[in-house]
């Protein structure tokens, strides 16, 4: 009985740790203060314009170049996750870095 209790406690700790680890990544829905929205799923991203492209993905960052015909066309866009609920997005256009933008996890309801 005591061994079973220890095993269940250990399993609970492992599962809780896994949930924390999975939450700590840039994947998901992000919203800007001015109402823009984007969605990251691994190397796939849905841009604020609705365009779907692929980019350079790592667990805490994402990079892409705005596609032709998009409002972000030619801009070098880099995102860096700061914590579970905050990321910074920075746009580089014509060799000039724009100010970092704070994006937060969206509260999406259906």
Q: What pLDDT sits at residue 11?
A: 40
Q: What pLDDT sits at residue 18?
A: 36
In a domain, 60, yes or no: yes
Tally of domains within the chain = 1
In a domain, 110, yes or no: no
Q: How many H-runs (helices) and E-runs (strands) does the chain carry?
A: 1, 10
Residues 6+ apart with CB under 8 A from 54: 43, 44, 45, 64
CA-nearest of 94, 35, 26, 87 to 56 is 26
Range of the domain at 71: 2-105
Digit-by-digit pLDDT tens for the chain (110 residues) are 554 544 444 444 333 333 333 458 999 999 999 999 999 999 999 999 999 999 999 999 999 999 999 999 999 999 999 999 999 999 999 999 999 999 999 986 65
């Amino acid at each position: 009985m005591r061994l079973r209790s220890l095993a269940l406690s250990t399993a609970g700790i492992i599962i809780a740790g896994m949930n924390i680890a999975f939450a700590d990544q840039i994947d998901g829905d992000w919203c800007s203060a001015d109402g823009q929205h984007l969605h990251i799923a691994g190397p796939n991203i849905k841009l604020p314009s609705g365009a779907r492209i692929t980019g350079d993905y790592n667990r805490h960052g994402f990079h892409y170049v705005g596609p032709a015909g998009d409002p972000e066309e030619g801009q070098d866009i880099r995102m860096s996750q700061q914590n579970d609920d905050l990321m910074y997005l920075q746009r580089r256009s014509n060799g000039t870095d724009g100010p970092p933008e704070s994006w937060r996890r969206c509260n999406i309801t259906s």
